[in-house]
């Protein structure tokens, strides 16, 4: 008999174990939810790690890209590049000398895995290096230099070998942007950046002064003028087969040197020990007998002492004069009577000698002392010459009066010409551009005498009997004096010099041109006062004057633009 159960009002006859089923469902649901939460947490963690990595890499990329990466950066790690020597610039701000970052190539043998393979690479890429010496150094397994002061091309070739044992040691190298153009002026530095010659040596302390590193040393030189003059002198050496040449362009008002060229020159980027005397600075260190350019000094001294005037006639000039054992004569026959200015125009040795005797030895000595012709040149270079000492014995006054038996440097001679033609004021030659001008004026001759000399020098160029007609360049009113001298030890060797000033009315520039041992240019056709003639003579008037004329023609327009007075003279000459 079935037992009857009492119905619950909440019970459903069709539902079995409601409470049990609800428990199971809830239990299953909680377990699934828990697993789902674990899964989501892992996903979040993975996403967090993933985005963290992206963020870190992004920061790294930004950091790297914000820094300047240099080629070969793995081996170029060193302190920030700081100059230890000032720049040198010309008067227009054009760079002449600067320190740059350079490298030595060193080898650490312990980092070379295959030394035989390394040697093969070196032989193929650098055949000029001593392979046997390198092999011995590798076997010693000690750090050594493969090559010092390598070029950028050499550095790239070494880097491309892919050897960890190649070390690039940084150092500061001095470069000269115009190679040989300023070689006799700028000089050089050694491997430790100490000046050893030229301006580099003279201003060594100033160039290394840390307080002035950002202030370039500015020169009086003009790169454009230097280039043009250098080119014409090189052409002259070829034309006249000369062994050397030199030129100096100076501002006669303040002594600033705009150009100084001495040939042969040399590339100052190539460090070398030059022992050959042909490479000396001929303008500042060369000591020469300059010949007839001294006649201008004699005439100026006589005029300044009121012993003569330009039109004073010197009568009965002999063809020869015997002095002790020597006989003095002229290169060619001149009229018996000549005015003082004609003596200079025609360049008469005997006429100048007679005027020198009027002056006397004591006054001549005093003039040479005041003009500093026999002392060591005063300029910002150590490469200067000392004029040969001589005694005022018999015949010395006679020979000195026309430029024989006395030596000086071309620099000193040009400096005296500057004083003779600028109104009589002594100037100090300078290679450094300075704002301060020395207001103290020291006279060498009077302004009146200076004006007289300028007019005579102009006639040396313009008169038919003058010795410098080839320098009469239209528009520049050139005046000047020639000098031809022989080497007493070797008569086949001579020095031909021409010192010009322009414009002669109020000279602004003095230009000295000299040629060592020039020969007759037989193939050269001169335009001599409108007539075409072939070269047959070997005197200053036919080579140094010719070269000076070509130089003035090239540099004249540049100077005229920079100098208002010269430009006006050029215009006036064209109108006339």
Question: What pLDDT digit, counting tens, does each position of 124-153 carry?
Answer: 999 999 989 999 999 988 999 999 888 889
Q: Does the structure show a pLDDT above 70 at 415?
A: yes
pLDDT in tens, 265-313: 999 988 767 778 889 999 999 999 999 999 999 999 999 999 999 999 9
**Strands in 357-489 per DSSP E:** 479-487
What's the mean pLDDT when you consider all of the chain? 87
For a pLDDT cut of 90, what percent of the chain falls above it? Answer: 67
Here the tokens at position 468 are: 């410098």
Contacts by residues 128-136 (CB-CB < 8 Å, ≥ 24 positions apart): 134/107
CB 181 within 8 A of CB 229: no
Closest CA to 516 of 221, 185, 288, 190: 288
Interatomic CA distance for residues 408 and 285, integer angstroms:
9
Here the tokens at position 353 are: 């000698």
pLDDT in tens, 456-503: 999 999 999 999 999 999 999 999 999 998 765 566 689 999 999 999
Q: Does the structure show a pLDDT above 70 at 378?
A: yes
Three-state SS at 295? helix
- Number of Cβ within a 10 Å radius of residue 254: 17
Here the tokens at position 452 are: 């007289």
Q: Does the structure show a pLDDT above 50 at 9?
A: no
CB within 8 A of 126, min separation 6: which ones?
147, 154, 157
Domain boundaries, the chain: 100-173, 180-208, 226-266+283-575
Residue 487: its pLDDT value, please? 66
pLDDT in tens, 174-219: 999 999 999 999 999 988 889 999 999 999 999 999 999 999 999 9
Residue 69 gets the label, from left (phi > 0), alpha (psi -120 to 50) or beta, of beta
For a pLDDT cut of 70, what percent of the chain falls above it? Answer: 86
Three-state SS at 306? coil
Q: How confident is the model at residue 560 (pLDDT cuts 50, 70, 90)?
A: confident
State how far the alpha carbon of 179 is from the alpha carbons of 86, 186, 331, 470, in Å.
Answer: 18, 10, 42, 32
Mean pLDDT of 7-11: 47
What's the pTM?
0.81
CB 373 within 8 A of CB 412: yes
CATH class of 226-266+283-575: alpha beta
Q: Does the structure show a pLDDT above 80 at 534?
A: yes
pLDDT in tens, 391-404: 898 889 999 999 99
């Amino acid at each position: 008999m079935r037992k009857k159960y009492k119905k619950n009002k909440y019970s459903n006859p069709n539902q079995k174990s409601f409470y049990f089923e609800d428990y199971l469902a809830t239990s299953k649901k909680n377990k699934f939810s828990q697993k789902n939460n674990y899964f989501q947490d892992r996903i979040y963690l993975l996403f967090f790690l993933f985005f963290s990595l992206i963020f870190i890499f992004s920061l790294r990329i930004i950091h790297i890209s914000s820094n300047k990466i240099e080629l070969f950066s793995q081996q170029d790690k060193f302190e920030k590049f700081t100059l230890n020597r000032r720049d040198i610039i010309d008067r227009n701000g054009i760079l002449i000398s600067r320190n740059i970052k350079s490298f030595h190539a060193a080898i650490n043998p312990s980092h070379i895995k295959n030394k035989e393979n390394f040697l093969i690479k070196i032989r193929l890429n650098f055949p000029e290096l001593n392979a046997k010496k390198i092999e011995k150094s590798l076997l010693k397994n000690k750090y050594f230099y493969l090559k010092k002061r390598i070029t950028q091309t050499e550095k790239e070739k070494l880097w491309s070998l892919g050897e960890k044992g190649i070390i690039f040691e940084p150092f500061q190298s001095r470069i000269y942007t115009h190679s040989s153009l300023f070689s006799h002026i700028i000089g050089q530095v050694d491997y430790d950046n100490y000046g050893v010659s030229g301006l580099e040596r003279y201003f060594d302390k100033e160039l290394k002064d840390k307080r002035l590193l950002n202030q370039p040393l500015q020169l009086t030189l003009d790169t454009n003028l230097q280039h043009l003059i250098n080119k014409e002198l090189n052409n002259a050496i070829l034309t006249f087969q000369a062994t050397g040449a030199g030129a100096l362009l100076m501002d006669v008002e303040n002594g600033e040197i705009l150009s100084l060229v001495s040939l042969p020159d040399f590339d100052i980027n190539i460090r070398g020990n030059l022992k050959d005397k042909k490479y000396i600075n001929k303008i500042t260190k060369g000591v020469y007998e300059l010949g007839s350019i001294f006649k201008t000094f004699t005439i100026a001294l006589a005029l300044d002492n009121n012993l003569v005037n330009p039109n004073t006639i010197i009568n009965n000039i002999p063809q020869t004069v015997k002095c002790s054992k020597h006989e003095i004569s002229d290169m060619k026959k001149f009229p018996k009577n000549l005015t003082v200015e004609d003596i200079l125009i025609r360049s008469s040795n005997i006429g100048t000698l007679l005027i020198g005797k009027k002056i006397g030895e004591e006054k001549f000595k005093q003039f040479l002392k005041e003009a500093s012709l026999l002392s060591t040149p005063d300029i910002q270079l150590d490469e200067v010459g000392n004029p040969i000492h001589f005694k005022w014995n018999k015949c010395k006054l006679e020979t000195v009066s026309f430029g024989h038996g006395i030596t000086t440097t071309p620099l000193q001679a040009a400096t005296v010409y500057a004083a003779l033609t600028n109104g009589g004021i002594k100037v100090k030659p300078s290679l450094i551009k300075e704002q301060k001008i020395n207001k103290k004026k020291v006279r060498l001759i009077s302004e009146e005498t200076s004006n007289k000399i300028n007019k005579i020098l102009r006639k040396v160029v313009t008169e038919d009997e003058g010795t410098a007609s080839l320098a009469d360049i239209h528009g520049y009113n050139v005046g000047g004096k020639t000098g031809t001298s022989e080497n007493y030890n070797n008569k086949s060797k001579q020095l031909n010099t021409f010192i010009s000033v322009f414009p002669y009315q109020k000279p602004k520039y003095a230009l000295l041109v000299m040629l060592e041992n020039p020969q007759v240019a037989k193939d050269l056709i001169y335009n001599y006062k409108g007539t075409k003639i072939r070269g047959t003579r070997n005197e200053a008037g036919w080579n140094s004057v010719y070269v000076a004329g070509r130089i003035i023609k090239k540099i004249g327009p540049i100077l005229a633009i920079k100098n208002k007075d010269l430009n006006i003279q050029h215009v006036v000459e064209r109108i006339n």
